[in-house]
Amino acid sequence: MKPTDPAVTWLEEKPLGLAERLYLPLFVQGLATTARHLVSPKVTVSYPEQRPTVGNPLIYRGVHRLNRDDEGRVKCVACFLCATACPAHCIDIVATESPWPDREKYPEAFQIDELRCIFCGMCEEACPVDAIELTSLLDLTGKSREEMIFDKEKLLSVYDMTKDAEPMKSAQYKEELSPGHGAGGAA
């Protein structure tokens, strides 16, 4: 669009008023603002002693976990949709034939390189069976690169660790979208 386009509305700067021309009133106003912030409550979180609060765990993207189904088996069906969706190529799945009758495949190995992961949440979006989820764990540390490659057992243990504080998101979404109507509404 050109600057001369008639559709462009040009706003004129307002001429300075008396208070603005006299400088000091506005100066005092600015000083009052900073003085107010000087004594106002601080937003800093003293991290190691004080945990930051996660606003909404449903949309927070922290460490991954692999969910278990009702029988304690891994929910994943090794469809590779998450690995395909991953823009950082940090998911590595080895699929094999499932020992259980309800699915054809299951992951023999499931590795996520947490150092390559950019925590975009695409894997969670892509998963058709809500097996991979991002928790609200935010302090992810390790002493070596190898330690930061999470395998299937590690990811399942993250689920075991967080399942009480954070139930599976699929269940929560359904509850939120159709309260009182059970599981059917969300699908």
Contact (Cβ atoms closer than 8 angstroms) between residue 133 and residue 65: yes
Query: Contacting another protein (CB under 8 A), which of 6, 23, 55, 180?
Result: 23
CA distance 90 to 110: 11
Query: Contacting another protein (CB under 8 A), which of 7, 9, 44, 47?
Result: 44
Does residue 37 touch another protein according to CB under 8 A? yes
Does residue 42 touch another protein according to CB under 8 A? yes
**Would you state the structure tokens that stand for residue 1, as one six-digit string?**
């669009």
Does residue 47 touch another protein according to CB under 8 A? no
Query: Contacting another protein (CB under 8 A), which of 7, 10, 72, 187?
Result: 10
* Binding residues for another protein restricted to 65-94, rule: CB under 8 A: none
Contact (Cβ atoms closer than 8 angstroms) between residue 130 and residue 74: no
Q: Which helix (H) or strand (E) holds 149?
A: strand 149-150
Does residue 125 touch another protein according to CB under 8 A? no
Radius of gyration over alpha carbons of the chain, in Å?
26
Query: 125 by DSSP, 3-state: which?
Result: helix
Q: Which is nearer to another protein, 29 or 96 (CB)?
A: 29
Shortest CB 136 distance to another protein, Å: 24
Neighbours of 67 (CB within 10 A): 22
In the complex, which residues of this chain contact another protein (CB under 8 A)?
2-4, 10, 12-13, 15-16, 18, 20-24, 27, 30-31, 33-35, 37-44, 46
